Amino acid sequence: MEPEATVNRTNVVTDIHLCYETDNYSYVVTTSPSIVCILLYVFLVLLCVFTICGNLLVTISIIYFKQLHTPTNSLILSLAVTDLLVGIIVFPFSMVFSLSSCLHYEGLFCKVRSGFDISLGTCSILNLCCISVDRYYAVCQPLTYQTKITHHVVVIMIVMSWGLSALIGTGIIISILNSENREERYFINVLMANTVGPTIFSFYLPVIILLCIYLKIFLVAQRQARSIQNTTKSGATVSKMERKATKTLAIVMGVFLLCWSPFFFFITFLPFTSNPVPVPVIETLNWLTLSNSMLNPFIYAFFYSWFRSAFRMIISGKIFQSDLANANLHRPTVCE
């Protein structure tokens, strides 16, 4: 994702990307890139490859293995498809037309790319919210989980996530296109695009929901662990369960906030400042948010042993040698 703030570009954005040079008042890719530029794009290519491969493994696993056809995994599949599209669409375009290029050259391509960027980023966050709701019922209301989180409910959640994301992305594109011929109202349009749209509905509101739900899950998990301790007197088992719950929730929320918070804080306050912003700072924040799409498969799938078993079968090519759709994948224990 990237901010659509180009107000007073000479004052807001400073420095030119190391991979670009000026040519008749336009910015083009330099013919003699520096070592830093080459290393930067090598790193971004690797990030793109890991993002595509990781999410592709999750997608194939859930679609192929029937044992993984559950409501929870359907939400994980939606998240993986979203992050896969980020790797396929947003990553390459962001490397070819980097943020600095789009800040200085605002063509239609950059505006449409921003729509895909914002839509897929929002969809990824909303999918995380849906997964948290699923986990809430699984942990906090296990007796009613199967009746409340059905395949029909999951489909509705997925459709709403994708639909709302597309609506926000389309609205941002329309706002940007309409602002071209209304320079005197540009600040208002930027404020609407940066604060009201992506920041509130794409970040702050979902973050509040995620924090509240995971806090509730954590408290319930601790209460259940203490209840088990009073019943079984197995302090070692309870301690392991509490550490597992704490570690999992810390990783989920920590990585999410680490990747997304700096960018959204930046674009929230950007319209209100006239201080120059170096292009490398903007690019770093932009790619930090995109890197969350690479980390999601590790957080929501790689930690579970049945996914690891599926990945091994896919990578080794066993699924091409025989029909393993009904294979019995290893199920983890409660503490796993």
Residue-wise pLDDT tens digits, 41-71: 788 889 999 999 999 999 999 999 998 998 9
* CA 296 distance to own-chain centroid: 7
For residue 205, the model assigns a pLDDT of 85
Give DSSP secondary structure letters for 206-234: HHHHHHHHHHHHHHHHHHHHHHHHHHH--
| Residue 243 pLDDT > 70 | no
CA–CA distance, 242 with 110 (Å, rounded to integer): 47
| Residue 169 pLDDT > 90 | no
Q: What mean pLDDT is predicted for residues 272-292?
A: 77
Dump pLDDT digits (tens) for 112-139: 777 787 788 888 888 888 988 988 888 8
Dump pLDDT digits (tens) for 199-241: 777 788 888 888 888 888 888 877 777 776 666 555 555 455 5
Dump pLDDT digits (tens) for 244-255: 555 666 787 788
Segment 146-155 long-range contacts (CB within 8 Å, at least 24 positions apart)? 149/71, 149/72, 150/71, 151/71, 151/74, 153/71, 154/71, 154/74, 154/75, 154/130, 155/74
For residue 82, the model assigns a pLDDT of 94
| Amino acid present at 7 | V
CA–CA distance, 272 with 93 (Å, rounded to integer): 29
| Residue 195 pLDDT > 80 | no
Structure tokens at 274: 């006239």
* Dihedral sign (CA 317, 318, 322, 323): negative
Structure tokens at 223: 């209460």
Q: Please report the domains of the chain, with CATH numbers, ordered by start residue.
A: 9-321 (1.20.1070.10)
Q: What is the number of helices (H) and of strands (E) in the chain? A: 15, 4
Global confidence as pTM: 0.79
For residue 336, the model assigns a pLDDT of 42
